[in-house]
Structures are given as C-alpha cells and as structure tokens.
Homo-oligomer: A and B are copies of this chain.
Amino acid sequence: MIVITSNQTPQEQVNEIIAVIEKEGLQVHLSVGADHTVIGLVGGVTPKLAEHLRQMKGVENVVKITKSYKLASRDFHPEDTVIDIRGVKIGGENLVIMGGPCAVESPEQIDEIARLVKASGGQVLRGGAFKPRTGPYSFQGVGVEGLTMMAEAGKRHGLLTITEVMTPEYVDICAEHADILQVGTRNMQNFDLLRKLGTCGRPVLLKRGFSATYDELLNAAEYILAGGNRDVMLCERGIRTFETYTRNTLDLSAIPVLQNLSHLPVISDPSHGTGRRELVAPMAKASVAAGANGLIIEMHTDPDNSMTGDGVQSLFPEQFDSLLRDLEKLAPLVGRRFSPSLEAAPVV
C-alpha cells in the first residue's frame, strides 16, 4: 500500500504517519517528491490501518495495491475452474446452455419446456420457484412445489436444473432439489445468503448486481468461496444505465474482464440483459464471441401467458433452437466447445 501526503505537509506530520505505520511492525519506504512525499508500506496492511492512515491529517490519498479478494482471483488460481456436475462441464473451453421459463408454472409447462431445451441441445433447465418481484402484489412464484416439478422434469429429460434462492432459510430445500443454486441480482450483496451458500454443497451461479462493479462481484463470490464452496459461476445479466429502451444494458466487457481477473466461469444472461425478445439472439451470439463460458436464456412455449410477465423477453422454442444451431457453428471459431450430445447429463 502507498500513502501520498498532500501538498506542503509539514515534516512532523509525515513523521507521525510513519510512526503509526512502524507501530504496526511494517517497514516504510520514503519517496520525497517536489510537492508530495510518498510513503510505501511493506508487509500486510489491515483494512483498519489503511483507513486510519486515509484519515490522518496531511494524507491526500491511500492507494491499495493488492486486491481485496483472494480465492476468486486469477493470481491465486491461474487455471480456469471447470465445474463438473454429473458429466456436464462448466468452465474452460466448454460452452454450457441453460434454458427454461422465467417461472415454473405447472408440471406440464416445465416438462414440455424441459423436453424442448433437451431437444435443442441445452444441458441445464432453468426455472424460478421463488420469484423476487418489485411489488408485493405481483405473482411471487409457486414455491416449494415448483422445486419438485422442476426436479422431475430435469430427471425425466436428462437435464441439470438451476433455480434461484432468495433467503438463507430456503437454501437447504433448494439444494435438495436443484443441481445449481442461483443468486439473483438484487441479492448479490445479501451477505448472510452468500455465507450460507458457502456450505450448501451445490454449485452456485452468482448474478452481478445491476449496479455492482466487477470488484464488488468478485468480493461477493469471495464470500461463497471463503465458506468452502469452490464451485461458483459469475453471471453478467445487464447493468442499470440512463438508457430506457432496453430493460438493462448488457455489459459484455464484463466477460473478458472477469476472465482476466478471475478463474471462475462467466455466464451471460441476454434475456434479462436486454429485456426484449428481438435482442436475445444477437446478444447471445455476441456473448459467445466475447468468450462467455455459457448462456442462461429464457424460453417459453406460451410467453404471452407467462405468469411473471417476463414472457416479453422469452424466446419461442423455435427461436431457441435456431439460436443454438447458430451457436454450434460460432463456438469453435472462438475456442468454445458446444457438443450437446456428448455433454448431456445422464438420466439419474
């Protein structure tokens, strides 16, 4: 860490700062500049010391050099993390496709959609049993039964399943029924939920908060990793900007950036990322071209009657299928392997 003193800080001030640092048993390197003195610290700096220094008289700036997350960083774990779930590999050169409705509505609905996801070559069935809704009067999901409906559909059609968990007390039951647990954008910094997921025994897909920085996303992942769960996927799902034409602004730079900073798989969600059906296919292709390790896409057999109203961003089954055919051709050109047949999960 580096402490930069302000213009014309008296020597005694500088000495005080140095004293504070040395009191913590750290070494100091001084650079006396024309109008600034720069103090380099050698050794482990506690957040408390960092802040103490930042607040001392005469200090203009304190520059952290080391990242606040460790387990999530590429420095710590240079190789790509590849998560293997019953034969489906997520991460590295593999391209995983997760598809399904916004919400589980009925056994028939989820079963039919599962059949279609599988037929098109998807490996994971998505579907919400508990739905986070802006207002209390909107449809909140079918709840626990939804978990069983989806689990059965997944089993029947040889698909893994992913579902969102919103609160610590539901982690166990969700982990019982789903292969992957999803943290929604509004809960990226629900730290008690993250801690609980650190010990849930299931891979976790962590969605970026709609206004979270890359650093905050990686620190949120660190909560889960620090709990002992190393199977974490990061998900870009669109950020909030001034533009209102799209529901969110899908930030595809996040894909190469997160892959540079971290070893965790990066999944893109072009459905929530755009909020408009006509934009899902182009942004799905763009995500893969940017290097995404997978996609999570909303597909519905009857979007006009989806219970959440998110049907407006759901693909029709034929659109979903033709997109996957395009991705099959695109993937090899950008170093991604998408071979549905091989990677399909065995029916358990």
Cβ-neighbour of A253 out of B42, B283, B329, B333 (below 8 A): B283
Min CB distance A221 to B, Å, is 10
Do residues B223 and A312 form an inter-chain contact, with CB atoms below 8 A?
no
CA gap between A240 and B87 in the complex, in Å: 41
Do residues A274 and B245 form an inter-chain contact, with CB atoms below 8 A?
no
CA gap between A52 and B29 in the complex, in Å: 25
A231 at the interface (CB under 8 A from B): no
Report chain B residues within 8 Å CB of A240: 211, 242
Give the segment of A63-71, A120-128, A148-156, A199-207 that binds chain B.
A63-71
Do residues B54 and A312 form an inter-chain contact, with CB atoms below 8 A?
yes
Kindly report how many copies of this chain are found in the complex they form together: 4
Q: Count of A residues near B, CB < 8 Å?
A: 108
Report chain B residues within 8 Å CB of A239: 241-243, 249
A residues with CB within 8 A of B:
2, 4, 7, 29-36, 38, 40-44, 47-48, 50-52, 54-56, 60-61, 63, 65-66, 68-69, 75, 132-139, 166-169, 186-187, 189-193, 195, 210-211, 213-216, 219, 222-223, 226, 239-246, 249-253, 255-257, 260, 273-274, 278-279, 282-283, 285-291, 303-312, 326, 329-330, 333-334
19 sampled A-B residue pairs with Cβ under 8 A: A4-B63, A30-B31, A51-B311, A52-B309, A52-B311, A55-B303, A55-B312, A56-B304, A61-B63, A134-B219, A135-B223, A167-B193, A186-B191, A210-B211, A213-B244, A241-B251, A250-B253, A253-B279, A329-B333
